[in-house]
Structure 1
Amino acid sequence: MKYVILIHANPQPWGHPTGDFIAENLALPEEVRDQLMTSFVETLTELERNGELLHGEALGDPASATLYRWVDGVPVASSGPYSETKEHFAGFFLIDVESPERAQEVVTAFSGPGETVELRPVMSPGG
């Protein structure tokens, strides 16, 4: 079963890993931040070793995005960020796991203070 893990954050300034730029994360004791990073790295290593990690990418600053919206029947470009929201899409990981429960187990290592992490199944062509 394929899932995408979507990372939403609003670090200022924009940077990766996003936790290094988010006030809520920086307010944690250093040992807690270190443990969160260790857990994340261990999970990524396990996913790679098991062949469950298909791909992952960090994304650039939302201010560098170009939006395309339909206006009067044609796509019109405008500068980002892409929405009227506090959080922006920061990156993603594509995983292929045996069950929804395994996906839920994995995603817990991807969430951190000041971020929203979304777990969403991937649709096969044709739905």
Structure 2
Amino acid sequence: MKYVVLIHSSPQPWGHPTGDTVAEHQALPKAERDRLNSDFEKLLSELQANGELLGGEALGDPATSRLYRYSGRPVVTDGPYSESKEHLAGFFLIDVDTPERADAVAQTFAGPGETIELRPIHVF
């Protein structure tokens, strides 16, 4: 079962990893930040070793994105979203055996000040 793990984060300030720039993450005690970072790195290593991690990328600064909408003709505007306090910061593509495994992965990805969206890949 393939899923995409979408990482939504605040664009102010901008940087990767997103936790390093999110105020809620930075407000945690150093030991807690270190534990969260260690758990995340451990999960990534596990996903890679198991063949469950198919890919992933950090996305560029949202100020450089453009939106293309159709309103009788294509209309281009600056992105990333209209009136949004969060943006899509990156994604990971995973292939796991069960929805429960996907849920466990997404929960580990979730960090202070970020929103993680888990969405199944549509199979045609």
TM-score normalised over the length of structure 2: 0.96
**What is the match of residue 28 of structure 1?**
28
**What is the match of residue 92 of structure 2?**
93
Specify every segment of 5 or more residues in structure 1 that has no aligned partner in the other structure, as ranges: none
Name the aligned partner's letter for residue 64 of structure 2. Answer: S
How far off is 1:69 after superposition? 1.0
User: Following superposition of structure 1 onto structure 2, how do residues 1-127 of structure 1 map, counting pairs within 5 Å?
Assistant: 1-71=1-71, 73-125=72-124
Identity of aligned residues (%): 64
Task: State how far apart, in whole Å, the 2-side matches of 1:86 and 1:33 are.
Answer: 23
Task: State how far apart, in whole Å, the 1-side matches of 2:114 and 2:56 are.
Answer: 17
Output the aligned Cα RMSD.
0.9
How far off is 1:19 after superposition? 0.6
Structure 1 stretches of 4+ moved >4 Å: none
Task: State how far apart, in whole Å, the 2-side matches of 1:51 and 1:23 are.
Answer: 33
Task: State how far apart, in whole Å, the 2-side matches of 1:84 and 1:11 are.
Answer: 12
Aligned residue pairs total: 124
Task: State how far apart, in whole Å, the 2-side matches of 1:79 and 1:102 are.
Answer: 37
TM-score normalised over the length of structure 1: 0.94
Task: State how far apart, in whole Å, the 1-side matches of 2:107 and 2:3 are.
Answer: 14
Specify every segment of 5 or more residues in structure 2 that has no aligned partner in the other structure, as ranges: none
